[in-house]
Amino acid sequence: MSTLTRVALVTGAAQGIGRAISLRLAKDGFNVAVSDLPRSRSQLESLTQEIKGKGRQSTWVLADVTSEPDVKSLVEKVAGDLGSLDVFVANAGVCKAQSFLDTSVDDWENIFKVNGRGAFLSYKYAAQQMVAQGKGGRIIGASSVAGKRGEPFLAAYSASKFAVRGLTQAAALELGQYGITVNAYAPGAIDTPMLEGISSIAGTKDEFYAHEAKNTVLNRVGHVDDIAGLVSYLASPDASWVTGKEVPCSPDDLFTNTNTTFQVNR
């Protein structure tokens, strides 16, 4: 890769894991473009200012990852404004917790639209830009422990994160010849607005978090910086020999059976 300041782009950057990844990559020396849905404009503006405060270049772009024209112009704008695209973190995702019996076709399609189609479009246009640049690159997606092992009450979400895993492996196989690595992070429960949003399935937030903590050998829910550190590594020169991997980032990966003894609200 070039010795010039490298450029990273993070989707779903307005909050949670994406925000932490953006700040970590800026700390690592990247110029960082951040993107999210139009409703998140003010969070993106202040995140950009925070990144610039670390002495990096930054820009924000409103884009819906389910829209092909949005993703295409997102990549073009970032490469145009910041001069390159070296790392694409396809972080945007949605989750809805519910029983399998209650999952509607609309729920299934909404989750697959963002987590499946959104990842596909992100990987595709990132790869096209990186191939055209001719200096390799890193594509990093958001899978989940639920993408390595089916999770109860997350049937559509689990299936969509298994899709990210297949996409990551297939893209890695085709893109290695261009010096592009493709990997995904596979977190367990991380304290973000997404996790809080699904906590009502098991009563209060505290009850749900305590339940999730018990399912890890470290007895705590993860912090966004736990994932940002992993992504920092995957984007670094040290990971140049790592591709096609979904890296677990959760101590609950050690358990073969998730404890699902809570009473589910329906």
Query: Can you read off the two tokens belonging to residue 110?
Result: 């909404």
How big is the CA angle at 220 (ends 119 and 27), to the nearest 5 degrees?
Answer: 55
Q: List the x/- string, 197-216, binding to ligand NAD by CB under 6 A.
A: --------------------
Q: Closer to ligand NAD by CB, 43 or 57: give it.
A: 43
Residue 31 sits in the site that holds ligand NAD (CB under 6 A):
no
Q: How far apart are CA 194 and CA 199, in angstroms?
A: 9
Per-residue b/e over 123-152, b at no fewer than 16 CB within 10 Å?
Answer: bbbbbebbbebeebbbbbbbbbbbbbbebe
Q: Closer to ligand NAD by CB, 82 or 164: give it.
A: 164
Query: Can you read off the two tokens belonging to residue 258?
Result: 């998730």
Q: Closer to ligand NAD by CB, 118 or 137: give it.
A: 118
Closest of 1, 25, 246 to residue 10, by C-alpha: 25
Residue 247 sits in the site that holds ligand NAD (CB under 6 A):
no
| Residue of 7, 14, 85, 201 interacting with ligand NAD (CB under 6 A) | 14
Residue 252 sits in the site that holds ligand NAD (CB under 6 A):
no
Number of residues that bind ligand NAD (CB under 6 A): 29
Cβ at position 5, least distance to ligand NAD in Å: 25
* Amino acid present at 121: L
Q: Has 123 been annotated as catalytic?
A: no
HSE-up (13 A, CA, CB side) for residue 146: 20
Rounded alpha-carbon distances, angstroms, from residue 186 to 143, 155, 171, 251? 5, 16, 17, 11
Residue 91 sits in the site that holds ligand NAD (CB under 6 A):
yes
Cβ at position 115, least distance to ligand NAD in Å: 6
Q: Which residue out of 125, 148, 161, 185 is catalytically annotated?
A: 161
Q: Which residue out of 125, 157, 185, 209 is catalytically annotated?
A: 157
| Residue of 22, 26, 97, 118 interacting with ligand NAD (CB under 6 A) | 118
Whether 230 contacts 21, CB under 8 Å = no
Q: Has 161 been annotated as catalytic?
A: yes
Cβ at position 258, least distance to ligand NAD in Å: 13
Q: How far apart are CA 191 and CA 221, in angstroms?
A: 6
Whether 125 contacts 164, CB under 8 Å = no
Cβ at position 59, least distance to ligand NAD in Å: 16
How big is the CA angle at 227 (ends 5 and 182), to the nearest 5 degrees?
Answer: 60
Give the footprint of ligand NAD on this chain (CB under 6 A): 11-12, 14-18, 36-37, 40, 64-66, 91-95, 114, 118, 142, 144, 187, 189-190, 192-195
Q: Could you give the residue numbers annotated as active site?
A: 157, 161
